[in-house]
């Protein structure tokens, strides 16, 4: 999508602090971190939100979670734990209408979240 912030980041039109990239995904550090480790993982293909996912996206989701697990091991936060969050719609707190996963670690995270 031409006006999507994350599509522009994935295309390299807007700079990001990249953590990982392959042909399907991009992971980059959040510009407003809510934990000592806070990065986002996005598919390069535009998908509005988790509500738009179908069975055809199963391999993509498996790849996303495998990359998240590997990055958390590399960053040294896997042993103590981390949180993976995707927001859907306005009431769910989604501010960018492109599927993305927040990965937060490095501190104790409360439950329930705000």
Neighbouring C-alpha atoms within 13 Å toward the C-beta of 44: 12
102 among known catalytic residues:
no
**Structure tokens belonging to residue 9:** 């980041």
Rg of the chain taking only CA atoms, in angstroms: 14
Give the other-Cβ count within 10 Å of 87's Cβ. Answer: 17
Catalytic residue among 38, 46, 98, 100: 100
Facing residues of 33 across strands?
Answer: none
Helix, coil or strand: residue 57: helix
Q: Look-up: residue for tokens 């999507």?
A: 4
Taking every pair of Cα atoms in the chain, the longest distance, rounded to a whole number of angstroms, is: 39
Q: Active-site residues: which are they?
A: 100
């Amino acid at each position: 999508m031409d006006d999507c912030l994350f599509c522009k980041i994935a295309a390299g039109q807007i700079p990001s602090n990249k953590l990982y990239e392959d042909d399907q995904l991009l992971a980059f550090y959040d510009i407003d971190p809510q934990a000592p480790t806070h990065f986002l993982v996005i598919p390069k293909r535009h998908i509005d939100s988790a509500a738009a996912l179908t069975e055809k996206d199963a391999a993509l989701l498996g790849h996303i979670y495998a990359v998240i697990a590997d990055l958390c091991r590399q960053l040294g936060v896997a042993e103590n734990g981390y949180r993976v969050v995707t927001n859907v719609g306005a009431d769910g707190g989604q501010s960018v209408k492109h599927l993305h996963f927040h990965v937060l670690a490095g501190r104790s995270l409360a439950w329930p979240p705000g």
